[in-house]
Amino acid sequence: MTPFRPAPSWLADAVFYQIYPQSFADSDGDGIGDFAGITGRLDHLAWLGVNTVWLNPCFASPFRDAGYDVSDYLSVAPRYGTDDDLARLVDEARRRGIRVLLDLVAGHTSDEHPWFTASADDPEDHRYIWTDTHTGSGTDAPPPAGFVASPGARPGAYLPNFFDSQPALNFGYARTDPAEPWRQAPDAPGPLANRAALREIMDHWLGLGLAGFRVDMAASLVKDDAGKTETRKLWTELRHWLDAAHPEAALLAEWGDPAVSVPAGFHTDFFLQFGGPTEGRPLRSLWNNRQGTDNDGWDPVDCFFDPGGKGSPSTFVDAWREAVAVIGDGGGHVALPTANHDFARLNCGPRTAEQLPAAFAFQLTWPTLPAIYYGDEIGMRFIPGLPDTEGSVLGPRYNRAGSRTPMQWDDGPNAGFSAVSTPDSLYLPLDPSPDRPTVAAQRADESSLLHLVRRLIALRRATPELGAAGSVDVLHSGYPFVYVRGGRYLVVVNPRATPATCTADAPDTPDTTHARALEGSGVAVDGRTITAQGFAYGVFDLTPQEPSV
């Protein structure tokens, strides 16, 4: 098997920042964020120190799933501006050392995409998965489970990939079955045409200076694919193409199983707080406290970053170790998001702003690639009880809108997000709390979360031992969680409300006599005894300092 090219070297130093474009900054006063708004805030992102931004889909769309229902992959949605506005954003970002990635919705389109409207009228078209033999009406058999009746002249039904308005692109089935003639092989002409289309879409945007893609529902492409064998082959083929055509580009999977997705060809995969291989073992989440975005299918496990202190970092650490053992050195990375547009923010439920310094101290010193979800760096809250907006509601206890509210920049009208005169026209309501955090207030206060996140990013970027490649030795896996990076930097986090103490006495524990705090609050290192107050965190340099003369 031809090996992949090594991941582009910039990736190991990436500090990702996810921008939900609807909600970041509105430059034209229509209540919805846009490219020019983001461009206007790039100085702030450069000040913060993030170097890689990824944007949720910003393509033409009827927005029944907030843009994950693409109706034209090659044009931007007018609500965000023009192609030139995006080009300017990418250029201005590059001038500040920031790369921009887009979101590739690979598994489905909108039902308003011309590919689909044509396919719904043409029984010979195989871009989507159609059961032409079942019309679902009259004396005909109903469509098979999960299929949706054709909206066009074509009889039969199509397979959606997420909402009904998102028909699955046909990448074939791993298992064919004569009784189900719609199951085409992955190398049938329809599926091959879709693979070619993915290459064309990537080629188009990478040619314009974009640095790569976050790939939506990357595991969903080939259907009935036990072990994801055929889906993995598909991504391996695309990665080989990318290696040759765009060797500096990166692919980030929304797969949630880096042990599978990275060997298949992704440069990195988000270690999601949901999904992934949870069967038979507890959810490996650090911060899923089942508030705001909750799903009946999730195991009732206490997460580690909880004030009650009933969790353990071990489920995460064990799953992370398994993944890196499979990926191997230099093969790719695991990315760790604080949250995302589908999942509750860090500041949600019983986890309050007080706990976030410990969460960031962990995220920015662990050997995963950190991804900060916009607003988490100031501790924006998950807002419950919002209206269903562009498909945000996924269940009775699952409304993604709470994580998608406008960025809180300052104390001006609409928190500086938009000049719109009627707050009802905002994409989503703002956090109504009078004490909601803002960028302006936190920039003016050096003791704020924002300043801490900035310093931790700077420390990580200046210290190879704290980055993706540095070693990690866990000294205590519990409360407090204690580990050493690169044999030199001691990190202590105690996300629970009550103090915690441990003795680091494993035979290979490094000498902590000279521990010098680089960042922290509430942690004392006394010989091998480490004491952390509630919500404390600390990053220490263990090397003796040269005496000053």
Residues that bind ligand BGC (CB under 6 A): 65, 68, 105, 162, 216-217, 254, 341-342
Rounded Cα–Cα distance for residues 73 and 440 (Å): 36
Is 151 within 8 Å of 174 (Cβ atoms)?
no
Is 265 within 8 Å of 202 (Cβ atoms)?
no
* CA 206 from centroid of its chain's CA atoms: 20
Q: Output the smallest distance, CB 254 to ligand BGC, in A.
A: 5
Q: Output the smallest distance, CB 343 to ligand BGC, in A.
A: 9
Is 449 within 8 Å of 442 (Cβ atoms)?
yes
The token duo for 80 is: 């965000």
Q: Output the smallest distance, CB 295 to ligand BGC, in A.
A: 13
| Residue closer to ligand BGC, measured from CB, 163 or 241 | 163
Q: Which residues pair with 270 in a beta bridge?
A: 335
Q: Output the smallest distance, CB 150 to ligand BGC, in A.
A: 21
| Residue closer to ligand BGC, measured from CB, 79 or 341 | 341
Which residue type sits at 201? I
DSSP state of 382: P
| Residue closer to ligand BGC, measured from CB, 162 or 213 | 162
Rounded Cα–Cα distance for residues 419 and 26 (Å): 8
| Residue closer to ligand BGC, measured from CB, 115 or 489 | 115
| Residue closer to ligand BGC, measured from CB, 216 or 230 | 216
Q: Output the smallest distance, CB 287 to ligand BGC, in A.
A: 17
Is 20 within 8 Å of 42 (Cβ atoms)?
no
Q: Output the smallest distance, CB 57 to ligand BGC, in A.
A: 8
| Residue closer to ligand BGC, measured from CB, 46 or 148 | 148
Rounded Cα–Cα distance for residues 182 and 512 (Å): 64
What HEC string does 515-531 produce?
A: CEEEEEEEEEEECCEEE
| Residue closer to ligand BGC, measured from CB, 277 or 331 | 277
- Residue nearest ligand BGC, Cβ-based: 68
| Residue closer to ligand BGC, measured from CB, 306 or 342 | 342
Is 173 within 8 Å of 223 (Cβ atoms)?
yes
Can you point out the beta strands (E) in 168-248? 212-216
Nearest to 327 by CA among 26, 2, 6, 549: 6
Question: DSSP alpha helices (H): ranges in 71-135?
Answer: 83-95, 114-119
Q: Output the smallest distance, CB 221 to ligand BGC, in A.
A: 12
241 burial class (0-12, 13-18, 19+ CB within 10 angstroms)?
middle
| Residue closer to ligand BGC, measured from CB, 371 or 482 | 371
Rounded Cα–Cα distance for residues 377 and 453 (Å): 6
Q: Output the smallest distance, CB 270 to ligand BGC, in A.
A: 10
- Residues making up the chain, counted from first to last: 549
Q: Output the smallest distance, CB 362 to ligand BGC, in A.
A: 24
| Residue closer to ligand BGC, measured from CB, 65 or 230 | 65
Q: Output the smallest distance, CB 457 to ligand BGC, in A.
A: 25
Task: Return the axis-axis angle of helices 449-462 and 356-363, rounded to nearest 10°.
Answer: 10
The token duo for 272 is: 């999601």
